[in-house]
Structure 1
Amino acid sequence: MTTDDTEELGVIPTTRRDDPEAFGELFDLHRDRVFRHALRLTRSVHDAEDVTGMVFLEAWRRRDAMREVDGSVIGWLLVTANNVSRNFARSSRRYAHVLSILPAQGTTPDHSEAVDDRLDSDVQRNALRVALAQLPKRDLDVLSLCVIEELSTAEAAAVLGVALGTVKSRLSRAKTRLGGLLAETAPLTQTEGGTR
């Protein structure tokens, strides 16, 4: 395998790990896939863009620790996106709480809420986002890799650093949990969508 082949697969060769140009090529190769995954986990396009940027910042910061499977780091990037989106959601909740306890001041109409409402009115996307947010980290990681991004169970096992049988059993349980959560979440989301 040549250096060019390695870069095509989405891995920065060891000799170029500190090369910003090589990292830029890796970013160009995987940013859309990471963004689509982040969009599934966040409330808006803007949040997904923030999460995507943070994933690649983390990837640059930890470039020597990125785990590759079958010549690609996409699995590592997707699991990192799961972790970043959870941290992002926690930070957003804290920020909203702080804002809620500040004294009220005169406000100017903000059109961003109307845009967010329009984006959130997609009932199925909202139900999936709510259900995914309720899953334990293990379930979200295995579903992200095997179902959403269609990595093989062997690839997922290598990314997660667990046995193949563990991935298969986690995947089965995660699908069952997600199905149950979607069944619970869908009626609530349809009601919310219908009242807008």
Structure 2
Amino acid sequence: MSLRHRINLRRLNKGDPEAFAQLFDWHGEKLFRHIYYRVSNREIAQDLTSQTFLKVWEYIIRLQVREGDSVSGHTVKPIENSTAFLYRTARNLIIDYYRSKKFEAVTLTEEMEEVLAGSDDTIRGIDHQFNIRRIVQAMSVLKEQDQELVLMRYVNELSMKDVIAITGLNENTIAIRLHRALRTLRQTIEKQEPLL
């Protein structure tokens, strides 16, 4: 964690609204993409992203009032890794969302492809969009947990330390799962017909 992030984390744990705004600036867009990938609906992803930041802020407020106290069986303690805390919170909200809606596994939509690919309309951008579609198709063959690992590590560019903190898996398990997932993706993409 960089010095800038450590300073922001210290300020965040003290309830500094500017530190919270900085956290949003650093992670808002990536967190939205992560959630959107999981729910495939822009409005729901926006709501869940907002709820994630709201829950984190509420936790920070509770921290100011009750540090060390037990709330709902959990001890309120300072956040040690803001990225991991955000993504764990989002992950729990996504799980709650699917439990409440009793949805089945999600498939990606063309709208998700646009979020991943951006709006570049040059020839290079078109080629990039074709590659994104191939990757999106290939991702559907992976187990849900492996999709999440690939998304966190390579799309959201989270550090291995953050992925460990979010998933609770050890580094070796994550490395093996990512290696296997990337191998499966490569094999699946090689077998795909061109998207023309």
The TM-score normalised by the length of structure 1 is 0.55
How many residues in Structure 1 have an aligned counterpart in Structure 2? 157
Q: 1:80 to 1:141 in 2, by over 3 A?
A: farther
Kindly state the Cα deviation for residue 168 of structure 1 after the two structures are TM-superposed. 0.6
Question: Could you say which residue in structure 1 is the equivalent of 2:29?
Answer: 32
Q: 1:45 to 1:4 in 2, by over 3 A?
A: closer
Q: 1:20 to 1:86 in 2, by over 3 A?
A: same
Which residues of 2 match residues 61-140 of structure 1 at below 5 A?
A: 61-63=58-60, 64=77, 66-68=79-81, 73-93=82-102, 119=111, 128=136, 135-137=143-145, 139-140=146-147
8 Å contact from structure 2 (residues 48, 90) kept in 1: yes
Question: Is residue 171 from structure 1 mapped to residue 168 from structure 2 by the alignment?
Answer: no
Q: 1:41 to 1:128 in 2, by over 3 A?
A: farther
8 Å contact from structure 1 (residues 59, 66) kept in 2: no
Question: 5+ residue gaps in structure 2?
Answer: 61-76, 104-108, 115-129
Name the amino acid aligned to 2:41. S
8 Å contact from structure 2 (residues 87, 166) kept in 1: no
Name the amino acid aligned to 2:143. L
Q: 1:2 to 1:147 in 2, by over 3 A?
A: closer
Question: 5+ residue gaps in structure 1?
Answer: 95-116, 191-196
Q: Deviations over 1:48-96 (max 9, x none)?
A: 101101211232244446441xxxx2243234333322332333347xx
Q: 1:147 to 1:50 in 2, by over 3 A?
A: same
Identity %: 24
CA–CA distance in 1 between the matches of 2:35 and 2:91?
8
Name the amino acid aligned to 1:13. R
Q: 1:141 to 1:161 in 2, by over 3 A?
A: same
The TM-score normalised by the length of structure 2 is 0.55
8 Å contact from structure 1 (residues 35, 52) kept in 2: yes
CA–CA distance in 2 between the matches of 1:176 and 1:83?
29
Q: Deviations over 1:12-46 (max 9, x none)?
A: 53662x34443233223321221122222222221
8 Å contact from structure 1 (residues 78, 145) kept in 2: no
Name the amino acid aligned to 1:148. V
Q: 1:56 to 1:118 in 2, by over 3 A?
A: same
Name the amino acid aligned to 2:153. C
8 Å contact from structure 1 (residues 43, 129) kept in 2: no
RMSD: 4.3
Question: Could you say which residue in structure 2 is the equivalent of 1:194?
Answer: none
Which residues of 2 match residues 9-20 of structure 1 at below 5 A?
A: 11-13=9-11, 16=14, 18-20=15-17
CA–CA distance in 2 between the matches of 1:120 and 1:162?
27
8 Å contact from structure 2 (residues 52, 93) kept in 1: yes
